[in-house]
């Protein structure tokens, strides 16, 4: 029987029977689930519910709002297995990887629990004779989130816990490719005591997103996804007078210096390049080896290590990574490997035809290692978003850094070295938003903020953490005097000083 994933509006699960599309299990290639694709009217209904819930939620004390998040965190932990199963079935990532994603999402809920502290504002006494001044951070109103397929639990939790504790109400449009875990998580909020209408989910595609970008009741939009869509979202939301942060795609390079501990670098690169089938915006997809000696050792050690990797179904925790998200994406990833080969690169480990017993129709791509890649190749310029590690050989650290700084994306990067001076120079001068020093996936913890540079982020404020609080609130500064009774001041025509 086919199950249909609907919408969550004003605390009710609904299906508007407008349009729908299949959700696949990428490990089997089959589908027993449909996702409803919301109409304009359904999205407007969700915005109306959020708008109606706003006045009371805005006035709910921050401590009470935070208590909902404390309960929500407990429910997420209690239901972690169910959530990870739903992620695995529709995304394909292995259970241990899904558990890691969920944990990083929960950390954002934990950060949101500190709302009373985060929203204390700033106060100055006696800025003038008998005058006090303070700044408050007030909620915006209805805010929207639009999220990608690759982290159906974590990325939505970069957004709505913080937005909600800041006093906003929320409409989330998750990825239509793996919607079930996100909807399940949102339903836990009701159990945690969140009033109806504060959190709403509309499943859908461009038709739904267009409403969120143009309806004047939506005050801000957080987006995470690919760069062409991020750019469109930022331009459209901004043109419609909304605050917007739009996080886009990536091409993350790791520099392997001649002095690096290559065995350690290879271990780190294995997980960072192939974990989650390379479908992470922080995946390390290019290793830049400085000098042929480092490159040769890297290739040999990596090739040997890759022989032990296993690709397979999400429910078998001994697998290292699973399939890619769709058949079309599988073909796209294989197409990039073909093009690298055509353009002169050497395929050292070829994952184009992996054998996964019992899952012959799954969307699998095996771990692939490509040497002698150049910056002119299509496979280097584009984000592949698959389990493919490309190696570029350069002669110096300066050349490696120039390569990274010239790339259109600037999300994450890493340097493997034992030289502190080189590492400091690297972190100081590299044009990338998140930098690792012997740390392959430098995803900031929840009390910092996440964001890339260049065409990996459109907007001023990064996601979650301190920047998230600023994004989901507007500053109001109040200057106050209570004159003593009977005291009158004369009019003054000079600027107050
Ligand atoms: P995507 O851009 O295809 O989709 C993201 C969201 O946008 C989805 O909800 C989708 O329904 C919606 N969307 C798609 N086309 C649209 C259109 N024409 N108009 C309006 N909305 C549209 O991205 P994806 O394939 O789901 O996710 C993978 C991409 O996300 C990769 O590029 C990855 O690097 C990026 N990503 C970035 C970060 C980051 O923090 N920078 C994090 C995770 C993923």
CATH of domain 3-248+456-478: 3.40.605.10
pLDDT at 480 over 90: yes
Q: What is the pLDDT of residues 250-288, one digit of tens each?
A: 999 999 999 999 999 999 999 999 999 999 999 999 999
Question: For the chain, what is the mean pLDDT?
Answer: 97
Which two structure tokens, joined as six digits, stand for 107?
């950390």
Q: How confident is the model at residue 86 (pLDDT cuts 50, 70, 90)?
A: very high
Instruction: With H, G, I as helix, E, B as strand and everything else as coil, classify residue 445.
Output: coil
pLDDT-derived band at 484 (thresholds 50, 70, 90) equals confident
Res 487 pLDDT > 80 = no
By the 8 A CB rule, do 422 and 397 touch?
A: yes
pLDDT value, residue 1: 67
Q: What does the pLDDT look like over 228-250, one tens digit per residue?
A: 999 999 999 999 999 999 999 99
What pLDDT score was predicted for residue 483? 85
Judged by average pLDDT, the poorest of 18-22, 374-378, 480-484 is 480-484
CATH number of 252-437: 3.40.309.10
Cα(175) to ligand 1 centroid in Å equals 8
The DSSP-derived string for 222-274 is: EEES-HHHHHHHHHHHHHTT-EEEEE----EEEEE-TTS-HHHHHHHHHHHHH
In terms of phi and psi (left: phi > 0; alpha: psi -120 to 50; beta: otherwise), the region of 368 is beta
pLDDT grade, residue 16 (50/70/90)?
A: confident
Per DSSP, 114 falls in state: T
pLDDT at 218 over 70: yes
Asked if the model's pLDDT at residue 391 lies above 70, the reply is yes
Give pLDDT, residue 47: 98
Which of the listed residues 226, 236, 333 should we mutate to test ligand 1's pocket, taking the one with most ligand atoms within 8 A of CB? Answer: 226
| Overall average pLDDT of the 182-191 stretch | 98
Site residues for ligand 1, CB cut-off 6 Å: 146-151, 155, 173, 175-176, 205-206, 209, 224-226, 229, 247-250, 281, 383, 385, 411, 452, 456
Report the C-alpha gap between 18 and 356 in whole angstroms: 37
The pLDDT > 70 percentage for the chain reads 100
Nearest to 232, CA basis, from 252, 248, 216, 215: 248
Nearest of 228, 182, 176 to residue 205 by alpha carbon = 176
| Secondary structure (3-state) at 410 | strand
As annotated, the residues of the chain forming the CATH 3.40.309.10 domain(s) are: 252-437
Q: Is the pLDDT of residue 19 over 90?
A: yes
At residue 19's C-alpha, the angle toward residues 18 and 23, to 5°, is 135
For 288-325, what is each residue's pLDDT tens digit?
999 999 999 999 999 999 999 999 999 999 999 999 99
Query: CA-CA distances (angstroms) from residue 217 to 94, 212, 323, 373?
Result: 39, 9, 40, 49
How much is the pLDDT for 90? 98
**Nearest 5°: CA angle at 193, between 188 and 197?**
80
What token pair was written down for 361? 């129709």
DSSP per residue, 360-394 = TTS-----EEEES--TTSHHHHS---SSEEEEEEE
Residue 497 in this model has a pLDDT that exceeds 90? no
pLDDT, residue 496, reads: 82
CATH 3.40.605.10 in the chain, residues?
Answer: 3-248+456-478
Q: Which contiguous run of DSSP H or E holds residue 313?
A: none
Contacts of 379 (CB under 8 A, 6+ apart): 336, 337, 339, 340, 343, 345, 370, 373, 388, 390
Mean pLDDT over residues 442-469, rounded?
Answer: 97
**Best mutation site among 229, 248, 275, 443 for ligand 1 pocket (most ligand atoms within 8 Å of CB):** 229
**Confidence tier at 491 by pLDDT (50, 70, 90):** confident
């Amino acid at each position: 029987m086919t199950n249909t994933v609907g919408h969550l509006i004003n605390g009710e699960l609904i299906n508007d029977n407008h349009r729908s599309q299949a959700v696949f299990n990428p490990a089997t290639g089959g589908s027993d689930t449909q996702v409803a694709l919301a109409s304009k009217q359904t999205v407007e209904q969700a915005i109306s519910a959020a708008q109606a819930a706003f006045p009371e939620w805005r006035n709910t004390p921050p401590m009470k709002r935070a208590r909902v998040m404390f309960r929500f965190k407990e429910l997420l932990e209690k239901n972690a297995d169910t959530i990870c199963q739903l992620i695995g079935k529709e995304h394909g990532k292995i259970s241990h990887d899904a558990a890691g994603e969920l944990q990083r999402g929960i950390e954002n809920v934990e950060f949101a629990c500190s709302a009373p502290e985060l929203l204390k504002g700033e106060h100055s006494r006696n800025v003038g004779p008998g005058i006090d001044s303070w700044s408050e951070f007030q909620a915006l109103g209805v805010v929207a989130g639009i999220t990608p397929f690759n982290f159906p639990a974590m990325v939505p939790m970069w957004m709505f816990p913080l937005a909600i504790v800041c006093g906003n109400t929320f409409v989330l449009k998750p990825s239509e490719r793996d919607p079930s875990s996100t909807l399940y998580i949102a339903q836990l909020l009701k159990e945690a005591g969140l009033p109806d209408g504060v959190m709403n989910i509309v499943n859908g595609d461009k038709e739904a997103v267009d409403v969120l970008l143009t309806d004047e009741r939506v005050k801000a939009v957080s987006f995470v996804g690919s760069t062409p869509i991020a750019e469109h979202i930022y331009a459209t939301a901004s043109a419609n007078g909304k605050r917007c942060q739009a996080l886009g795609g990536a091409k993350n390079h790791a520099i392997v210096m001649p002095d690096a501990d290559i065995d350690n670098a290879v271990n780190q690169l294995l997980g960072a390049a192939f974990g989650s089938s390379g479908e992470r915006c922080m995946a390390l997809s290019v290793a830049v080896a400085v000098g042929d000696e480092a490159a040769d050792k890297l290739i040999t050690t990596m090739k040997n290590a890759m022989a032990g990797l296993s690709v397979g179904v999400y429910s078998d925790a001994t697998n290292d990574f699973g399939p890619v998200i769709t058949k079309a994406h599988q073909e796209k990833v294989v197409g990039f490997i073909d093009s690298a080969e055509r353009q002169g690169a050497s395929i050292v480990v070829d994952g184009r035809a992996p054998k996964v017993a019992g899952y012959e129709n799954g969307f699998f791509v095996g771990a692939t290692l490509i040497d002698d890649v150049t910056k002119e190749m299509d496979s280097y310029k584009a984000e592949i978003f698959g389990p493919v590690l490309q190696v570029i050989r350069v002669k110096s650290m300066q050349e490696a850094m120039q390569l990274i700084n010239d790339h259109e994306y600037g999300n994450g990067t890493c340097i493997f070295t034992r030289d502190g001076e080189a590492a400091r120079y690297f972190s100081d001068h590299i044009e990338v938003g998140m930098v690792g020093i012997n740390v392959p996936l430098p995803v900031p913890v929840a009390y910092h903020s996440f964001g890339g540079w260049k065409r990996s982020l459109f907007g001023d404020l990064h996601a979650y953490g301190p920047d998230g609080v600023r994004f989901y609130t507007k500053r109001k500064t109040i200057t106050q005097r209570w004159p003593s009774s009977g005291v009158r001041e004369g009019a003054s025509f000079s600027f107050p000083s």
